[in-house]
Amino acid sequence: MALTKRKVAGGSRFWPGFRRSAILLSVIQSCRVQGRSVLDLLRRSLSLAVRTRSHELSLIPVFE
């Protein structure tokens, strides 16, 4: 399925696109494994980046 998504998006034709596609698919898969919402993670990460000018994204699970 990941191969199909890369081909449809044209993400594997050039290195920068391939790298972006690989990172995004990795984030999506990590969220699925952890039972987390991809959209929620991206929303919170973008909000944090805007507020703090930080580009850090953590996929390390937090157990509360």
On the 0-12 / 13-18 / 19+ scale of CB atoms within 10 A, 1 is exposed
Task: Please report which confidence band the pLDDT of residue 3 belongs to, taking 50, 70 and 90 as the band edges.
Answer: low
CA 31, 18, 51, 36: dihedral to nearest 10 degrees?
-10
Q: 60 — phi, psi (to 5°)? A: -75, 125
pLDDT, residue 56, reads 67
pLDDT single digits (tens) 8-45: 555 556 777 778 888 888 889 999 998 989 999 888 88
Task: Please report which confidence band the pLDDT of residue 58 belongs to, taking 50, 70 and 90 as the band edges.
Answer: low
30, 59 contact by CB (below 8 A): yes
Task: Please report which confidence band the pLDDT of residue 7 belongs to, taking 50, 70 and 90 as the band edges.
Answer: low
Residue type present at position 52: T
Of the candidate ranges 1-5, 22-26, 49-53, the one whose mean pLDDT is the lowest: 1-5
